[in-house]
Amino acid sequence: MAIEQIDSLTPREREILSLIAEGDSLSDIARKLHRSLKTIETHRLSLGRKLNATNRVELARIAIASGLVSIGSEPISPPGDGSKFGAERELNWLSAISEAVNQVSGRRYIDRLCVALTQVLGVRFAAVCMIDPDSRTSGKLTVAYSERGNTGQPFTCDPANKPAQTVLEQGVCRVTSGIAKLYPHDARLIEHGIESFMGIRLDDDRGISAGILAIWDDKPMQEADTLERILRFFASRTIAELESAYKAEQMIQLQRQIEQQSPTPSDLPGQDHAGSNKVNELLKIRQSLDSLAGTRFLSALTDTLCESLGVSHAGVCVQEMIEDRPGFFTISLSEHGVQAEFTRYLLEHSPCEITIANGSYCLSGGRKRAFSQG
């Protein structure tokens, strides 16, 4: 860790580093400091370069080791080595959970996160409760969970009169003891003898709820502040993986629909089932990227899109300001399946401007004519 570089940070970078160490997401920091998310992302990249840190856990370690932030000084209750104090143990927990989920994505990430939370924190249950984007009005939650390190069979539940309802309405639910008495209509709490509960709402950058991340136990919960910080630390990644898992499920459902509706080769000799083939290509792309994360995932994604879909360019971009005008910076760009140099360009009169406004955009021909002013 580059602790000696802490003096090179600006006051704003020190403030952001402290908030990262306390478990705030970049979106949370942007709201607290009344700055744009893009501005906070730029500071985050600068912190990584100056401190030679590649992830949030390393940044948190540097912040605490340098004395910039103090997470706690009281011993945390078991599990773990009872000789370790709060700050050191919290970082060890963060590192252990991060290591467990670092190389997986999508639904595998969700399952492994639940397992890691129960194993590392020593709680009985951990769960990611997902809101189906296509049926928000129903209020149903799909729950992926682990019990004492074992992955359970996902189930669907109604959050009404349960701790999940409090999380969805208030953003957080913390009950360190007596949870079953507060929610007497939750049969699962009573059945398992649950005593304590901690849950946070997973809101994306638009403020839309994607689900809930929660832990609960059959004994009173110690160090609730610490446990909430740990959950919030993994909130942003969990939101992204929920969206990824949902899209993967959409592809599988689309493939099933095509298989059910498409005529068989005996019905139409020589028929090329283009729709089914494209879905198969998407599934292959998904499978090839499942074990990657971070910048490796982005680079592999754009390269694979070019190769599998036969397009000349594929890119992942982030917004930034270019001479006080809105623009884009490509954080991964592939040209014919080979990584190209990063580039910056203005948002005005570009396809991306329409994409930002509408959420998606497709133009099958005539791009030069359509965007001749760009």
Give dist(CA 73, CA 90) in Å, integer.
11
Give residue 352's pLDDT: 79
Cα end-to-end span (Å), the chain: 44
63 with 21: CB under 8 angstroms? yes
Highest mean pLDDT among 53-67, 88-102, 297-311: 88-102
State the pLDDT confidence band at 270, using cuts at 50, 70 and 90. very low
Quote the distance between the C-alpha of residue 231 and its chain's center. Answer: 12
Q: Which amino acid is at 14?
A: R
pLDDT at 217 over 90: yes
Q: What is the mean pLDDT of the chain?
A: 79
Among 219, 286, 209, which residue's Cα sits nearest to residue 247? 286
* Arithmetic mean of pLDDT, 226-249: 84
For residues 373 and 15, the model is more confident at 15
* Arithmetic mean of pLDDT, 266-273: 48
Q: Buried b vs exposed e over 87-105: b needs ≥16 C-beta within 10 Å? A: bbbbbebbbebbebbebbb
**pLDDT 10s digits, 26-76:** 888 888 898 888 888 888 888 888 888 877 778 877 887 777 765 443 333
Query: What are the beta bridge partners of residue 322?
Result: 325
State the pLDDT confidence band at 125, using cuts at 50, 70 and 90. very high
Which residues, in sequence order, are CB contacts of 147 under 8 Å at separation 6+?
Answer: 118, 124, 125
Question: Which two three-digit tokens encode residue 144?
Answer: 């992926």
State the pLDDT confidence band at 312, using cuts at 50, 70 and 90. confident
Question: Strands, E, within 73-220: which ranges?
Answer: 125-131, 141-147, 150-151, 155-157, 172-175, 196-203, 209-217
**pLDDT 10s digits, 193-206:** 999 999 999 987 67
Question: Which two three-digit tokens encode residue 129?
Answer: 């409760």
| Torsion sign across C-alpha atoms 259, 264, 267, 273 | positive
What string of DSSP letters covers 233-265?
HTHHHHHHHHHHHHHHHHHHHHHHHHHHHSPPT
* Arithmetic mean of pLDDT, 254-265: 60
pLDDT at 153 over 60: yes
Give residue 2's pLDDT: 60
Among 287, 284, 235, 201, which residue's Cα sits nearest to residue 110? 235
Question: Which two three-digit tokens encode residue 313?
Answer: 């360019």
Among 30, 60, 57, which residue's Cα sits nearest to residue 43? 30
Give dist(CA 13, CA 47) in Å, integer.
7
pTM flag (> 0.85) = no
Give residue 83's pLDDT: 35
Residue whose pair of structure tokens reads 């969990």 in the numeric block: 238
